[in-house]
Amino acid sequence: MIEPLFFIHHETCIQCYACVRICPVKAIKVDAGTEFPSIIPERCIGCGSCFRACAPAAITYRSSVEETKALLASGQRVAAICDPTISGEFNDITDYRKFVEMIRQLGFAFVSEVSFGVDLVAWKYKELLEDFHGKYYITANCPAVVSFIEKYYPDLINNLAPVVSPMIATTLAVRKNYGKDVKVVFIGPCIAAKDEAQRYSGEAAVDSVLTFVELRQLFNEFNIRESQLEFSEFDPPFGNKGSLYPLSEGIIQAAELSQDLLSGRIITTEGRNNMLDAVKEFDSRIDMIRHHFNIFYNEGCLMGPGTSAGGEKFLRRTLVTDYANKRLQDFDPETWEKNMKTYGSLDLVRSFTEDDQRLPQPSEDMVREILHSIGKEGEMENNIGCESCGYANCREFAVAIAQGLATTDMCHIYSSKNRQEYIKSLRSANEKLASTQAALKESEEKAKHEQEAEKEATESMSAMLQKLVSGVVIVDENLKILHSNRAFVRILGDDAAMVDEVIPGLVGADLKTLLPVHFYKLFSYVIGSDEDLENKDIQYGDNTLSVSVFPIRKNKIAGGILRDMYTPEVRKEQIIRRLTEAIDENFGMVQKIAYLLGEGSAKTEKILKTVIESHQSPPNK
């Protein structure tokens, strides 16, 4: 698979869509997800307009520098064939012979000029066009024009002149002269020639294509300068008027075909828009126009995209004609004619391949719907538009959207309206957000105060629990201890005290490892039943404990209070409690037998009260 000719680097792209506007075949689409343009290789004709139009230099083309260096380092003989446009490009080099030597210094065994190949091709055109049988032709020298017709006007393929380009003709001549094993590198102003070279094999194969910009890069890399070198001449065969090829009408003059406005039968045109119009009119009006077309995409090869940016067209034109005149001063007609006969037997016939890239046209209803969606329904029949989207009018833009080449956001007016609506919605959202943030802040402050109060309450409760003589423990549904006080640890004994040293407060300890089964099952029962158990006497070791267990959170958390019955405080408390219970119980019974006992109940009550008072602490004095 051939590597794409052009690349758009999104990290550099500023989304100005200049490339979309300039592309003659709309081979650049804008991805809906990123809004970045990207090149569709199969639709590209290699004209280089996007490359020239990209101000931030986000578009680059396939480099042949490393490929050429590898050829030169391979040990094989390599020939450089130079397009005559080189005279207009290198206006900083005073003598073309110095320029030839600079190329040799890179390692090329041979340096030939394409002007002889131009002469060969020109004479083939002369034979073809003068032997007229009612069929009109389009010259096939410009690879961008050839690709354009193959992809977008495939019905005109039979009208393309079946003649190879001067690059291929020169390649065949070089191999005929220097051997079939010679590698060939074309040096010229055309980026599309890189793809044209991929079409050929065998003796017509071009091994690499360097643009003039890439050639300058090699000169700089190897520090090759004119001032350090002597003269060197091109290797034969030499051309005649083929040196005029950089000018669009140059090949016609080299073929000595008439360009007379009255009698001539060839129309020469150049430039992006002229090329588009010429092919379109050839397709629809050739029976009325009745002329052959000589078409170049750029303004001749002079201003090809592979030349240095900022070149001055008319200065370059002058340099080309001056160079041609200088070359013709030493022109040897006899040698040239002999060479033309020698190399005239070369097979310069070529064929073309249909590669239809035309997209189906959307229905009128779809176009109207798209125009309506972007607020441009009034431009359906009017060919108007600001062209900022890259399309000539709103209708073409809508068609491109339907074909998947463009997105609605490329319309600046539509985007501006959406932007204003977005700003309004954003402002409203910001106001709501500000209100929500204020409420959230207030809620956070409230929660903060509540947390502080809860923390304070928890600390107070913990301090109080630690003061109690009774053991207190709180467990979850898995009987894991959530909280306990020092009295609980003391009641459980030495084993619990050792755990407490590692885990303060026994937090996280398993109650089942600290208490016997009959003991901890009281907690399991309370958690499962959500019922209280009060004052249960439990034997724990040598002690008897009074245990009360109560639910705190249903089926989740329970608390327990443990009291050692043998501590003086608990014993007094228990005796008082149990005597009080006995008084209450007996008092009820006394009331029932009052009639039988008479004053007996009063005596009983007096005796019991005396017992209670004897166990109570004496009042403070």
CA–CA distances in Å: residue 484 to residues 220, 502, 548, 552, 567: 85, 14, 15, 14, 20
Residues 244 and 214 in one domain: yes
Spell out the residues 6+ positions from residue 465 whose beta carbon is closer than 8 angstroms to its own.
472, 483, 485
| Domain end marker among 33, 62, 91 | 62
Residue 79 has what pLDDT? 98
Residues 585 and 487 in one domain: no
CATH of the domain at 36: 3.30.70.20
Would the pTM of this model clear 0.85, i.e. be above it? no
Residues 504 and 599 in one domain: no
- Per-residue exposure over 214-253, b if at least 16 CB sit within 10 Å of its own CB, e if not: bbeebbeeeebeeeebeebebbebbbbbbbbbbbbbbbbb
- Six-digit token string for 370: 């798209």
Residues 310 and 437 in one domain: no
CA 589 to chain centre: 94
DSSP H or E run through 244: none
| Domain end marker among 28, 62, 96 | 62
Could you give phi then psi for residue 109, rounded to 5 degrees? -75, -35
Sheet order of strands, 543-553 included: 481-484, 471-476, 557-564, 543-553, 533-540
291: in domain: no
Residue 51 has what pLDDT? 95
Residue 571 has what pLDDT? 56
Residue 366 has what pLDDT? 83
Number of residues that make up the chain:
621
Low pLDDT (below 70) residues in the chain:
1-2, 375-390, 392, 408-427, 429, 454, 457-462, 566-621
Residues 195 and 50 in one domain: no
Q: How many CA atoms are closer than 13 Å to the CA of 546, on its beta-carbon side?
A: 17
Residues 495 and 602 in one domain: no
Contact indicator for 210, 103 with CB cutoff of 8 Å: no
Residue 537 has what pLDDT? 83
Residues 88 and 115 in one domain: yes
Residues 79 and 192 in one domain: yes
376: in domain: no
Domain that holds residue 452: 421-457
Residues 427 and 562 in one domain: no
85: in domain: yes
| Domain end marker among 297, 326, 343 | 343
DSSP H or E run through 348: none
Residues 189 and 42 in one domain: no
Number of folded domains in the chain?
5
Q: Tally Cβ neighbours within 10 Å of residue 213.
A: 18
Residue 426 has what pLDDT? 64
CATH of the domain at 524: 3.30.450.20
201: in domain: yes
Q: Tally Cβ neighbours within 10 Å of residue 329.
A: 6
Residues 93 and 11 in one domain: no
580: in domain: yes
Between CA 523 and CA 550 the distance in angstroms is: 8
Q: Tally Cβ neighbours within 10 Å of residue 255.
A: 24
Could you tell me which residues are beta bridge partners of residue 187? 82, 210
Residue 500 has what pLDDT? 82
Q: How many CA atoms are closer than 13 Å to the CA of 336, on its beta-carbon side?
A: 18
Residue 101 has what pLDDT? 94
- Per-residue exposure over 362-387, b if at least 16 CB sit within 10 Å of its own CB, e if not: beeeebeebbeebebeebeeeeebee
Between CA 326 and CA 297 the distance in angstroms is: 28
5: in domain: yes
10: in domain: yes
Residue 416 has what pLDDT? 55
Residue 594 has what pLDDT? 42
Between CA 87 and CA 93 the distance in angstroms is: 9
CATH of the domain at 201: 3.40.50.1780
Residues 189 and 323 in one domain: yes
Could you give phi then psi for residue 541, rounded to 5 degrees? 65, -125
488: in domain: yes
Residue 443 has what pLDDT? 81
